Every structure is written in C-alpha cells, then in structure tokens.
Structure 1
Amino acid sequence: MGKSHFSHHWYRVANLKPALRNHVEIHRQRMRGKTWFIIQDAQSGKYFRVSPATRAMLLRLDGSETIDTIWSEEGQKLGELQPTQAEVIQLIAQLYRADLIRGDVPPFMAEFIDRSDKTARQNLLVRYKNPLALRFPLVDPDSFFEKGLPFVRLLFSRWGVIFWALLLVLGSLLATMHWGELTNNLSDRVLSANNVLLLLLLYPVIKVLHELGHGFTVKSLGGEVHDIGLMLLVFMPVPYVDASSSAVLKNRWHRAAVGAAGIMVESGLAVIALFVWLAAEPGIVRAGAFNVMMIGGLSTVLFNGNPLLRFDGYYVLSDILNIPNLGARSNKYLLYLIQHYLFGMREVESVATSKGEARWFIVYGISAFVYRMIIMVAIALFVATQFFFIGILLAALAVLNAVVLPLFKGIKYLFSAHELGQNRRRAKLVSFGAVATLGLLLFVIPARHVTESQGVFSLGEGGAVINTAAGFVAELPLESGTLVEVGTTLLLLEDEELDTQVRSLGAELREFQNSFAAVNLFDQVQANILKEQIARTEATLAHYLSRQEGLTIKARRAGIFILPSSTDLLGRYVSEGKTIAYVVPVQVREAQVVVSSDRSSLVSDDTQSVEVRVEGAIDQLIEAKILRQAPSALISLPSAVLSSEGGGSVAVNPQKDGQLEPLQKHYRFDIELLSEPEQAPVNARVHVHFVHSDKPIGLQWIRTARQTFMSLFNV
C-alpha cells in the first residue's frame, strides 16, 4: 500500500507563515548519483540533509506565504516527488527546534516541539550520565588554525600524503621484521606500574596532535573549526576538536580526508616511534617510543581506524561510500526489514534512498554489532585478568547494554508502540515465536558435541633412532623402508679423533701394565702408583670404547626402518643425541593426543567414541579408543608438529627457547586406532574428535564460557 500524501493534522499548520533565519546556509552535494542539499546553521554548527524537493519549499519560506500555499504550488511542479504533509510537519518542527526559522508556533506545533525537546533532554542525560565519556567545550580555535596553517600546509597537502604512505610502508616492513620482540610479554610490559604512568602522560599528548590533524585538515580544505574542548574518556582528559563543518564539503574524498587525518597523524607518529625504539638503548626514551607505537598503532587498528566503531574510521567509510549516518541508518534499515516483512507493517518506509545502500546497511549493521560485542568482551576479559573487579564490572555493563536494555526496549515497543496498531498481535506472535524457536535450538534440541584435538603417531620405546656418539656418517647398510629385527645394524659412523684416542689410550695402558709387572716385586710404593694409573686409564679407555661402539647404530626393536634424509646423509656430521632415523611398527595403531585443560575433564568423563583422521589421508575416518591419560600436565609436547610454529594448534612458551613447553596447560591422552590407517608417516599429525553425549548448543556455549573464565583466572 502506498503512502498517503495527506495528514489529518495538516489544518493546524497550513496557515503558518514561517521564514528562514538569515544565518542559515544551504550547500549542494552529490551522493551516490543523487543531488542533496545540506542546511547549515552557522551559529550552532548543526547540519540537516534534505532532498531537492524539500529544498525548493525551504527557499520559499520568507514569511509572506503560508505553508499550505507553498506545498500545493510546489506539488504541481514536483508531482510524485512532492513531500507528504506528515514529512512537512516533521521538517517544520525540526527547523523550529533548531532555531532555523522564525514565526508563531501554534499549540499543535508546540506539542511537537516539546516532544522533540524531551528527546533532546533524554539524549543530554544519556550523554552526561556516562562518566566514561564527558565533553566540556572550551574555546573557539578557528583563528589559531588560521594562523598556524601556513606553517604546516605542506604536511596537509598531496606531498604530505605521499610522504605518509612511504613512511607507513617502511614502518610495516620494520615492524614485521621485529614482530616477536615487539609483542613478547606484551601485557606485563604495558600494565606494569611504571609503564602505566608513562602511558597516562603520553596519551593526551598524542591525542592533542591527533585533534590538531583534524583541525588543520578542515582549514586547508576551506572549512571552519569553532569548537575545541576537553573530554574525559574513562576519566582520562583527552582533547577534542569539532570538525563537523566538513559535512558541507562537496568532494567526498575531502570529507574522508578530514576523518582520516587523525588516523594518519597517529600512525605516522607510531612509525617514527618505531625508528626511535630500534635505535635507542633500554631506558625511558625507548619505553616512551614503545608506548607511542602502541597508542598510535594498536589503538588505530582496533579502535580509531576501525570503521565498525563510531570513531574516525567510521566517518571515513561513511564519506567514501557517500552514505551519511551509516551506522544509525543501518540500524533503522534492519528495523525496517523486521517491521515490513515480519510484522506486516507495509506503511513503513525504507531509509535506503539510492541504489546499493540497502546492501551496505545490512552488512554494516550486522558486522558493527558483532564487532562491538567482541571488542567489549575482549576488553573486559583482558582487564579482568589484571584488575578483577573492574573487568567484571565492564563485563556486566557489556551484558546490560548488549542484551538486557535492547530486550527491555523490544518488549516495551511490542506492548506500547502506537505505530504497531493492528499489527501488534502479529508482531507479538512473530517476536515470541522467534524467541521460542531460538530457545529450542539453543537449549532444548540436542546437537553433536565434540572436542577437537591434535596428536601424533606414537612410535613406542625404541622407535626413535638416536646416536649416542657424535661422528660422520660413513656407511648406510640399509635402504629406508627395510624391515629390520632387533640388533640389525642401521648406520655406521666414524670419528677419526675418537679412534686415535682409543689407540693412544690402549698403548698408554699397555705401557703402565708393563711397568707395573717390572716393579711389582721390588718397589711396592711405585707399584701402587702404577696400579692407580692403570685403573684410571682403563676407565677412560672403557668410556671411549663405549663411544666407539656407539658409532655402530643398531635397531632396538623390530619394525620398518625409516631414514627421512637418506639422499644427503652420507658424509654428514651428526651431533650426539640427535634423532637420525626411526624404526616404526609394522602396524602403527597408537597416537598421543594433547587436550587443553579446560576440555580434559570432559574428554575423560564423557567420551562416547573417538574419530581420527590422518594428515595426508584426511578423507579416511578411523575409529579409535582411549587407552590411558597422563596423570599430570605436559612439560613438553610429544612432537614439534603440534606446536603453532610447526603448523599445529598449541602455542608454546616463547621464553623457553628450544623447548616445547605449552603456553597453556595441556594433558596427553594415548589412543589406539581400531583399524590400520592407509598411511602413517613418521611425525604425521592426526586430527582427533572426541565425541561426547549430544547436548544443546547453548549449553555447550555456556560450558565453554565458564571454562574460559576459570582458565583465565586460574580457578
């Protein structure tokens, strides 16, 4: 059903003769192929976007004609583009409230304006009741930016952008090269007492430069800046600059440049700080440079430069897409979809005014909501690990804002919104039906419940061929893949220096023995000395003979001889204790699986079946069973292929170089495959599913959240 052009309230405003005030300016813009007009209030700095049809009516508001006359005559020219009477009433009320028109206000309009003022007071209350973000305007800085612009104009020009881009590329390369050093033990470095103090001192300074970037960019593009002040952001004083005059710039790239200026300033400072950090010695200068990098780099990527949050990145995206108020209109469009298609409210109108906007509204509205929730939860958990009470409070506020308040508003809308009218019953049925369906899916209907883990094939005792003496590989008697028995010679090593030592010690021993035989009957003191020398030499010789015997490497078990690098092993030096080959069982049936501590009890207590897939033959599903569980947490992973550096899923402790100590607590489970795999290469990674009793998805999520919480706080 099409919308009506008429309103039963029209008679109350038809005879008004309002006039636009002299300080009102109108600017023309092209957005997504359509022409729009921006109404600017030069005194208050407010902006309104109107269509060409509405602008034609506004230009005739000079106090000499009634609204009814203007609407009727313009309607003859505009045809279907004519604004409806309800839209005109709404527009006049907004203009009155913004003090953009003058004239008498009838009782009906006064009620309309009172309602608008009430909304404004509520918005003001919301703004100042939040102690984490309070704004206090201070002075008009326009003359300051005007006088300072000649000194920095080059930075805010095309050459400045090129220099910034080159700086960013170089900084990205250097950051990648030193990434491990930059991120090592990050939380402890950032949240230490001394560093927090330095962070609090540097943060306002960086934000001052950030806001100056916005101000000078606006001035360089011909705009004005009339408001600068102080904002208490999480009780930290941070400056702000009102650069909203960029809304009247005709070029969308110029408008985007104003929003991007702060991001560019902070990222540029971060790169310069990286240069200082690399060059400076440990101390206050290096620590300060690190904090500048973190503020200008990390905060830009996660917050200020991210378009999914209402910071600079959001306004840049909005300007580039030529979609004003992208976030608010996305939420309104999602609400429109619900009202129009689910509640059956055919009279509601879409906020999408041009081709392609609807798709952006859907994608942005959903993505922004999900990202905000993720960021809020991540921040709450991170802070809670350092400051428990504050983190729990932030988590509670996140749940309140994300779940409780929207749910309360939704219920209130269903039961009291006048616009629902005859559609109220359908809206209730659809809403409560959706909630009931979601509840069934999350908390009633059972779903497959598994724990995903990784492991490696267990070779058993004697499976790894480890040389007990260093030497050069002299001979490879067997080819890789040969079936061997216990005691079969696998490799022959040689060590000429060791052979020389053995010969020398043998000759020395014989000399001592001959001398002892000569003096034993005549000089007992000398004989005792020679006896001790013989004993020492024999012990030393036995040690070297043992090492020499170790140069012949033999199989300690029967199985298949596997030599991973047989092509280039001959003649290579092999250090002592190195694994150089394997003897694997003819049938590999056991695997060692690592399970995180938050899932180990579930695996132990509720495993119905075990499913295994071998890397390299991932299409083959093999049934298995649990043989045993290690009683204590792992000190070292069974194989490097399970670590994140080896392509696995377990992060290892970076402070333990050369070791495979898991960063988080893990337990080892030994499983037995119930059928032989098609292939079981040495150190092959296996993907294991421990299948548990079916459980609704919601209950699975709750358990995961509880386990995550307990592991974070070592409960």
Structure 2
Amino acid sequence: MDPGYASLAAPAALALVGFLSMSDLFSTSWYRVADAVPRLRTQARVFRHVYRGEVWHLVQDLGSGKFLRLNPAAYHVVALIDGVRPLEEIWQHACEALGEEAPSQDDVIHLLGQLHQANVLVSNRLPDIEELEERRERNWKQRLKQYIANPMALRFPLIDPDRFLTRLMPLFPRWALPWMLLVWLALVGMGLFLTLRHWGDITADITRLIFTPEYVLMLLIVFPLLKAIHEIGHGIAIKLFGGQCHEMGMMLLVLMPIPYVDASHATAFLNKYQRILVGGAGMMIELAIASVALWLWTMAEPGLMRVFLHEVVLVAGVSTLLFNINPLLRLDGYYMLSDWLEIPNLGQKSNRYFGHVLKKYVLRAKKHLNPPETEHGEAPWLFSYSVLSFLYRMFIVTVIVLFVAQQLFFIGMLLAAWAIYMMLVLPLGKSLKAAWFDPALAEKRGRLVSASTGFVLVMAYLILLVPLPAATAVEGVTWMSERSQLRAPASCFGLQVLANPGPVMRGQPLVVCEDELLDMALAELQAKRDEHLADLARADRQDRVLAMNIREELAYTEASIADLQRRLANLEVLSPHAGRFVLASRRDFVGRFWQRGDIMGYVVDPERFTLMVVVPQRDANRVREDLRKVSLQAADTPGRLHSARLVREVPAATDELPSMALSLQGGGRIGVNPQPDSEGMPRALQQLFVLELTLDDPEPISAFLGQRVHVRFAHSPEPLGRQIYRVVRDVFAERFLI
C-alpha cells in the first residue's frame, strides 16, 4: 500500500451512511436518545463534493484525519445538529422536510453511532468514562491492526512533518504553479529525449551491473532518499492546496525501509484534479529528478558519481512507471484512478459490488437484497477492478514471498504463512460468516453451502487432478569445438582482415597479425647467416677445423631462421574447415594487441555447433528421466523458438561454469563463489550438471556464439498441486538435506 495515501483506504476512515425505507420508521430504543442534544465538535469540518453529478458531504475529524461520507438525506440530519435542538426535534424536522425520503429512527441512531465513532459528535450528557476508555482502546487496536494487517508493508508512524512542510512552502508559491508545471513538462520531455537517444548505453549490461558492490551500496542510499523526496512531494502538494499533513513514518516494504506520509487530508479538496495532483506529486518529482540525473549522467566520467546518477535514473524512472502508477496496487495510481473516475473508496466499493453480483447471479438471492448504490457507468469499472486487483495482488504476493524465501528461507516461510492468512484465509472466513448471517441469504443457505462446496471441489479438481504443462527452465551458452575457435598463434598486433565475415573455405586466409620483434629477430639472424657464410668461405681456404665450427653455427642459425619464418607464417590465420567466418571484434582488430591464445574469431560449422547447458542438481534427475522436448531461444532474440535435442551429459555434478555469461555478473542466474579454484577459474555456489545440446536447425542463432540462451525442458504434464509439492520438496531437500 502506498504510504502516501494509506489512511484513505482504511475501512474506518470512510463510512458510507445509507437510509432504509419508511417501512420501519420507529425504533424501540428511541426513548433512550430522544431528549439528547447533540452537537458537532469544533474539530469537525464539513466539505461538499460532487461525484458523477450527485452531491455528497464529507465530515472530517481534523484531529485524526478520518472522514465520514454522507448522502443528501444524512447530511440534512447532520445540518440540524447545532447543540440546541434535541434529537426528537431534529428527527421531526427531517420527517417534515424529506417526506418519503425521511430516515427512520434506527437510521438516525445508526448515523449518530457513525458520527460518534468518527469522534466528531458530543452531547449534553455526561461522558461515560469507561466508554471513552473503551473507545480509546478500540481505536488504538484498530490503528495497530491497520499498521500490521498487511505483512508486506508494515507502517510505523514517527513524526509530524506539518511544520517542516510549512517552512518549505515559500519555495512553492501557488501563483507559480502553472510555471512549475511547464518546467516539469520541459524536464520530463528532455529526459524522454535523452532516454531514447542513450537507451542502449542506459540498459547495457544492466543485469550484470545491478549485482556489483557499487550498485548494491548505492541502492541502499538512493532508494530511501528518493522515496523520502517522493513522500515530501505529496506533503508539499497537500499544503499547496491548503491541506494538512500530520503523520510521517517508516514502512517496511518487503523488509526494505521506505518513508511515507499520511495524505488523507487531500480527500477534503473539492476539485478532483487537485486530489489527482496530490496523488501524482511524488511521481512527478521523481521523474523530474530522473531527467536531471540522466542529463548529468551523459556528461559524467566513469566513477562512483556516474554509478550514483545511473542508480537514480533506474530507481526514480523504473519504480515510478512500473509500480507507483499501477492502479491495481494501492499506490499513487490507485487513488488517482479513483479520483478520476469519481468513485471514492474504489477498492472497497468494487468488492461490495462483486459480492452483490455473487449473491444475485450465483446464489440467486432475491429477498432483502440491497444492491450497492452505483452511478451510471460504474458497474463495469467496479466488477473489473475487483477481479483484476485481487489476481494482481496474489501474483505480487507470490513473487515477493518466493523472492524472500530464496534469500531468507525461514522469514520467507513465515511471511508466506502470514500473507496467506491475512490476505486469503481471514477475508474468506469473514466473507463466509457474513454470508451465513446475511438476511438476504437466509433462505439460500443450502445453495450457499452447495456453491461453496462446489467451488472448493472444482478448485481441488483443477489443482490436484487436471494435468498442466510442466517444464524445467534453465540457461545455457552457445558453444563450438576448439577447432572452430581462431586463437592468436602468438602475442602480436592485428594487421589486416583478409576475409569478409561470411562463408569461407578450408585453408582460406582470414586475418593476419604482425610482431615487429619477430621481424627484427629474423633480420638479425639473416644478417648473422650472411656473416657465417662469408667466414666459412675464408676458413675453407685457411683452417678446416674453424670451418667445421662455422658450419655448425651456420646450421643452428638457419634452423632458427626457419623457425622464425614458420612463426611469422603462422601469423596469417587460416580457416580450419569450411563454415561461416565470425570475427570477435572487427572494428578494433587492426592495431589491437592479442595475447597468445586469445580468441580472435570463429569459423562456425553447423555440424560442430552445440550448446552447453547447466542444470541445478535438484532438477537433473527429472531432466534425465522425463524429457519430452527441448526448446530454446537466444537472449538477444526473445520470441524466436528453436528446437534442440540432448546429445551428451557430464555424469557427475560440478561447480565449474562453462561460461561467465551464465553467472549473475554476466546477466545469468547462477551465483559465483567469491573464492576461485586453485587455477583461478570461477566456481558456482551450487552443484550443477552440464548437458550438451545440439540444434535441429542451428543456423538461425549461430550468430550468437558465446552468448546466453534460455532453454526449456518439457516434461510429462502433471497437476498443479504435484508441481507445487515438487518445488517445496526440492527447497526443503536443498535447505535441510532431507
């Protein structure tokens, strides 16, 4: 839940008061309150709102920030409460003025109870000290329940930021609001232009960078800082339109500390666009900061400052667009959508409407069925939002629980149990209890039981018996044999590319290097050979023993010359076989220094093209024993599937990685042990099985040699329950060696 608007979504913060018909006008409890003289507290304020053409009034307790929403008939009664008229006179006046729309005595009592609970009503009677203490304790428990009810977002109020925000207001005069909006549009437009222009640089190696120590450290600094500015933006917008902000604290969102402010006072704003602007103020500030950071990032030199700016762009831009603006989560986008649709309390109202649909069309209830008040065009929005928001929340909770469980297993399991109970079991139990005692379903309890039982049986059938596709998803790397790799024959500089990338024949010259030291050594030996030849010509006529020694030295020199000539000839790299020539780095080949053994390129031969795939130990047996089909797609071409088959597997588990492209640092999924092996090679944190695949049609992805591929091993279909059991069993086996 968005901390900036958290209190608006609390059920106790916004009560909808309705009235029954005239069929039950009098109440047996009326004599107890008829002579009471009620009045509104001085801290109560009344605001007039128009929702979809209908006038409503909001009563707010300025102390707590709670709201009570009143329809016209309820407001007529509240307007007569002046601390002078007794309740009997107020009711009689309402009956005369409203006629058939007049409330019953029970309705008035219920209204007074709502006002009393909202702490905006007092009377001429002495207060009941015990009742006040019970109310205080009840309010405290209710507030505590709101803070801990969502296990994914625990809120802890800390300070009252109103004075601080008041001091900031001279920096944001209201008359300058149109100019500030123009500046914001200019900044965001500049940020969008820079994003499109530098998109490749911004996203290059992003999956590798975010796991580096520099980015992790910067995330711990940038994320809370930006979110604090985000929440201050909500507070500034509230103060800008005359509201108040009296609560700021810290929320643990999936164990990540994030600041929040209570922006419930924005509900009192008459203009819905002001309320929308309050909801979007935090996102607007973040996007402006992201634009400025991106502009500075394009000019920054490599270093921590560039990392900091890149992190700001990612957090302020991505988190805003993917999370805050999403209306299916109780974040800024939800409240903006609610205000735009003019449907206050959209989440609760959509759930009530969905319950009404179930009663009417599933349980076929007809008597005592009170449909929720909806305006023209609201029903599709309410039904769609109820279904989509529930499914999306369950999806988000599942993803978060799995993520936490992978990092902190016990905390993840506790979090999962808490989330299932608070967000599924408890609401379902309350709904069934309310349905059982609902007068509209009194005659439909048999249908309720049968429908609930049928739903449970259908879900059990779908989960336990209906086979669903099952697969194991892993990663691999495209691979070629050693013969297909063009390695530098010696330490040399690139001189010339002799063949264009593409089809080549066996023995065709591809590239040539130069080594000036070899050329100089060859020239020196050739000169030395000429000297030996001249000395030999003189010695043959004067000293045969000396001539014999010179011949030995000459033979050694000629052998050295032949070796150097052979090494120089090897600097011209030939194609080892027919195939397609792929140069590792064509642009910077010429002039680049290559160490001996460096891979300069490849000659791709479809017959020698394979893929090395790593499978975690827990999935190895299933891949061996139940393999129906293998498909894959290259990381650079998602959506293009290719079929493959298993040709070989390493019989024993190993922690050696075929390629760093499969590691977290290379953009893959496998964690790397910080301690390399004795030969300095990287090791995986878990035991892996290496499988070799061959493509049925390797040509389409042969250009992605040495890069990651996503591989899917299809298994025999099995029910969802069986798949979940398998995952849980493997996790326990891995964690506890069971």
2:508 aligned counterpart, secondary structure: strand
- 2:173 is the counterpart of 1:153: yes
Whether the 8 Å CA contact 1:334–1:361 is kept in 2: the answer is: yes
What letter is aligned with 2:613? V
Distance in 2 of aligned mates of 1:292 and 1:677: 43
Q: Which runs of 5+ in 1 are unaligned?
A: 106-111
Relative distance call for 1:39 and 1:583 in structure 2 (3 A) is closer
**Which residue does 1:248 correspond to in 2?**
268
Match of 1:123 among 142, 147, 157: 142
Please name the residue that 2:48 is paired with: 28
Summarize the alignment of residues 266-285 of structure 1 with structure 2, pairs less than 5 Å apart.
268=288
What is the CA–CA distance in structure 2 between the aligned matches of 1:187 and 1:404, rounded to whole Å?
Answer: 40
SS at match of 1:35: strand
Question: 1:103: Cα distance to partner?
Answer: 6.3
Q: 1:136 to 1:301 in 2, by over 3 A?
A: same
Identity %: 27
CA contact under 8 A between 1:610 and 1:624: conserved in structure 2? yes
The whole-number CA distance in structure 2 between the counterparts of 1:651 and 1:129 is: 35
Specify the alignment match of 1:436 in structure 2: 457
Contact 1:93–1:113 (CA<8 Å) still a contact in 2? Answer: no
Residue 220 of structure 1: aligned partner: 240
1:376-387 equivalences under 5 Å are 376=397
Correspondence list, 1:389-538, <5 A: 390=411, 393-409=414-430, 412-413=433-434, 420-452=441-473, 462-463=483-484, 468=489, 488-491=506-509, 505-506=525-526, 508-509=528-529, 511-512=531-532, 515=535, 519=539, 522=543, 531=552, 535=556, 538=559
Query: Can you list the C-alpha shifts for 1:415-459, whole angstroms capped at 9, x where unaligned?
Result: 666664222222222222222221222223333323356768876
Residue 515 to residue 218, structure 1, CA distance change in 2 (3 Å) = same
- Paired with 2:158 and 2:568, the residues of 1 have a C-alpha distance of 81
Distance (whole Å) between structure 1 residues aligned to residue 104 and residue 668 of structure 2: 61
Three-state SS of the structure 1 residue aligned to 2:48 is strand
Q: Which deviates further from its counterpart, 497-506 or 20-29? A: 497-506
- Secondary structure, in 3 states, of the residue corresponding to 1:695? strand
Which of the numbers 600, 620, 635 marks the counterpart of 2:657? Answer: 635
Paired residues for 1:204-215 under 5 Å: 213-215=233-235
Distance 1:541 1:352 in 2: 99
Quick one: which of 621, 625, 629 aligns to 1:610? Answer: 629
Q: Which residue of 1 aligns with 2:278?
A: 258
Once residues 719 and 210 of structure 2 are traced to their aligned partners in structure 1, the CA distance between those partners, rounded to angstroms, is 38
Deviation at 1:249, TM superposition (A): 1.8
CA distance in 1, matches of 2:480, 2:167: 77
Q: Distance in 2 between matches of 1:334 and 1:342?
A: 11
Does 2:32 correspond to 1:11? no
1:290-347 superposed Cα distances (whole Å, 9 cap, x missing partner): 9988886676567666544444443333223322112222333333333333333444
Output the TM-score relative to the length of structure 1: 0.71
CA contact 2:579–2:604 (8 Å) conserved in 1: yes
Tell me the distance in 2 between the aligned counterparts of 1:388 and 1:652. Answer: 17
Q: Deviations over 1:60-101 (max 9, x none)?
A: 56546463663475244x6xxx77887665434313443555
Q: CA deviation at 1:250?
A: 1.9
Q: Are positions 1:696 and 2:719 aligned together?
A: yes
Q: Contact 2:626/2:715 (CA < 8 Å) preserved in 1? A: yes
Of 261-270 and 521-530, more deviation after overlay is shown by 521-530
Pair 1:169–1:375, CA change in 2 (3 A): farther
Q: Is the 8 A contact 1:614 1:680 kept in 2?
A: no
Q: Distance in 1 between matches of 2:698 and 2:229?
A: 64
Verify the 8 A CA contact 1:501 1:544 in the aligned structure 2: no
User: 1:479 and 1:43 mapped to 2: Cα distance?
Assistant: 75
| 1:231-380 correspondence runs (5 A) | 231=249, 233-234=251-252, 242-265=262-285, 268=288, 307-346=327-366, 347-351=368-372, 353-373=374-394, 375-376=396-397
Kept in 2, the 8 Å contact 1:509–1:538? The answer is no
Relative contact order (C-alpha < 8 Å, sep 6+): which is higher? Answer: 2
Question: In 1, distance between residues paired with 2:386 and 2:456?
Answer: 21
Kept in 2: contact 1:468–1:547 (CA 8 A): no
C-alpha displacement of 1:601: 0.8
RMSD: 5.8
Q: Map 1:17-166; keep pairs closer than 5 Å.
A: 21=39, 23=42, 25-41=45-61, 45-56=65-76, 58-59=78-79, 63=86, 65=89, 67=91, 70-71=94-95, 74-76=98-100, 90-98=110-118, 100=120, 120=139, 123-127=142-146, 132-135=154-157, 141=162, 149-153=169-173, 157-166=177-186
User: What's the counterpart of residue 669 of structure 1?
Assistant: 691
Contact 2:249–2:261 (Cα < 8 Å) also in 1: no
Q: CA–CA distance in 2 between the matches of 1:689 and 1:644?
A: 19
Deviation at 1:254, TM superposition (A): 0.7
Map of 1:108 onto structure 2 = none
- 1:109 matched residue in structure 2: none
CA distance in 2: counterparts of 1:461 and 1:239, whole angstroms: 55
Give unmatched runs, 5+ long, in structure 2: 1-18, 126-130, 675-680
CA distance in 1, matches of 2:232, 2:483: 69
Partner Cα distance (1:151, 1:317) in 2: 29
